Amino acid sequence: MASIGRLSTKDAVLLLCDMQEKFRPNIFQFPNIVSNAARLLKASRVLGIPAILTEQYPKGLGPTVLELEAGDLTAYAKTSFTMMIDEVEKQMQALGNPKQAILCGIEAHACIACTTYDLLEKGIEVHIVADAVSSRSQTDRLFALSRLKQSGAFLTTTEAVLLQLVQDAKHPNFKEIQRLLAHPSPDTGLLSFFSAL
């Protein structure tokens, strides 16, 4: 039976892809993408979901942006367009091979796409957080999301992920998650994409 894509804190890992300084001026909606990814990272800490962070060629593209607040995470440097490098594979194994990946970062048509294909081929369910993913061009971003949906990834939003993970207002961490939902996610230009689905 095909999975319906219900997220679980027990089976998930948060993947944070390449949100680095040199991308700041060029990525569509960069501040809002990082802001949403930062909320996901805060929620993952509250809910005990492990997070893995990569940086694309940091020597040239700089470090992860400070506002992601990921200073406590090891940044795995890479040159490939997938996050699934040896060090990340080993980290996934050390975590017990999570069955679900919550994926955010940049760029949608490059590293997000290649990571998604690799995860899907390994049988890992992929949840792409559409309002926490972008590219330099909105065209590349939207076509990448459409293509990745065709490949079997689930498209979702920051707020939807947070609510799915707690499931119930009686959840012991609901108040902390609710604080992360105090302000709705900013519009990151996805409405035109949604109307074309």
Q: pTM for the whole thing?
A: 0.95
Q: Is 161 left (phi over 0), alpha (psi -120 to 50) or beta?
A: alpha
Alpha helices in the chain, H assignment, sequence order: 30-47, 58-61, 86-94, 113-121, 138-151, 158-166, 174-180, 191-196
Q: Between residues 45 and 195, which one has the greater pLDDT?
A: 45
* Average confidence (pLDDT) over 133-146: 95
- The yes-or-no verdict on residue 1 having pLDDT over 50 is no
CB-based contact 51:42 (threshold 8 Å):
no
What is the homologous superfamily of the domain 12-190 according to CATH? Answer: Isochorismatase-like (3.40.50.850)
Quick: pLDDT tens for 8-43.
Answer: 999 999 999 999 999 999 999 999 999 999 999 999
The catalytic residue positions are 18, 78, 111
Question: Which amino acid type is present at position 107?
Answer: E
pLDDT at 168: 85
